Amino acid sequence: MRELVVTENITLDGVIDATEGWFEVADDPKVDRSDMADALREQREAADAFLVGRVTFEQMRGYWPQQTDDTTGVTDYLNRVAKYVVSKTLEEPDWDHTTVLRGALGDEIRALKSRPGEDIVTTGSITLVHDLIAAGLVDEYRLFVYPVVLGRGRRLFAAADGPSTLRLAESRPFRSGVVLLRYRTA
């Protein structure tokens, strides 16, 4: 059975809302970020499905397909991967390899997980991720923890209905000061 993986950029105090631009802390041009790029590539190679909510999808659709000089591999990946958008209102996805999921969230995700394939990854999509957590559908969390404390903003685990116990599967520090923490649900 496929696994659902939540991948998020997150602050030390649990904020995943990127509206304040806090993850530029890892963009120091004097720091070699190839180790983090390698980790992101590994994750792309282990996933053949990308799950997002409508707002994140529309933001990504407005940016990534137009990128012609991207050397990170993200554009190529997003243009070829099977994309699933959870939405009751999106009419036409207008991005190749995209399916709109309109049914009950649990039913749709269990059906995706039952198909043969690799990981299903979701990122951003705060409302969707909260719903996936509440429904107990997440198998793994891949958290890129940035050395920033905001004290405000939308958090990954915003409610007490999140997982009560997680098992550490990996911790990997990067030269930028960011640390990847992979947790499996218990």
- Domains of the chain and any CATH numbers: 4-185 (3.40.430.10)
Contact 95, 62 (CB under 8 A): no
Task: Inform me whether the pLDDT recorded for 162 exceeds 70.
Answer: no
Bridge partners of 173, per DSSP, are 179
Tokens of 165: 């116990």
Confidence (pLDDT) at 1: 82
What DSSP element (H or E) covers 161? none
Confidence (pLDDT) at 18: 74
Compute the distance between CA of residue 30 and CA of residue 177 in angstroms, rounded to an integer. 13
Number of H helices, E strands in the chain: 5, 8
Q: What is the pLDDT of residues 65-110, one digit of tens each?
A: 888 898 888 899 999 999 999 999 998 999 999 999 999 999 999 9
pLDDT band at 135 (very low <50, low <70, confident <90, very high): very high
The dihedral region occupied by 21, where left means phi > 0, alpha psi between -120 and 50, and beta the remainder, is: left
Q: What is the pLDDT of residues 7-17, one digit of tens each?
A: 999 999 999 98
Question: Is the dihedral angle over the CA atoms 81, 37, 172, 148 positive or is it negative?
Answer: negative
Measured from the Cβ of residue 91, the count of other Cβ atoms closer than 10 Å reads 7
**For the chain, percent helix, then strand, then coil, each to nearest 5?**
30, 30, 40
Confidence (pLDDT) at 33: 86
Bridge partners of 180, per DSSP, are 144, 172
Confidence (pLDDT) at 90: 94
Compute the distance between CA of residue 172 and CA of residue 68 in angstroms, rounded to an integer. 31
Flag whether the pTM goes above 0.95. no
Compute the distance between CA of residue 128 and CA of residue 137 in angstroms, rounded to an integer. 11
* Whole-Å CA distances, 3 to 55, 117, 174: 23, 9, 25
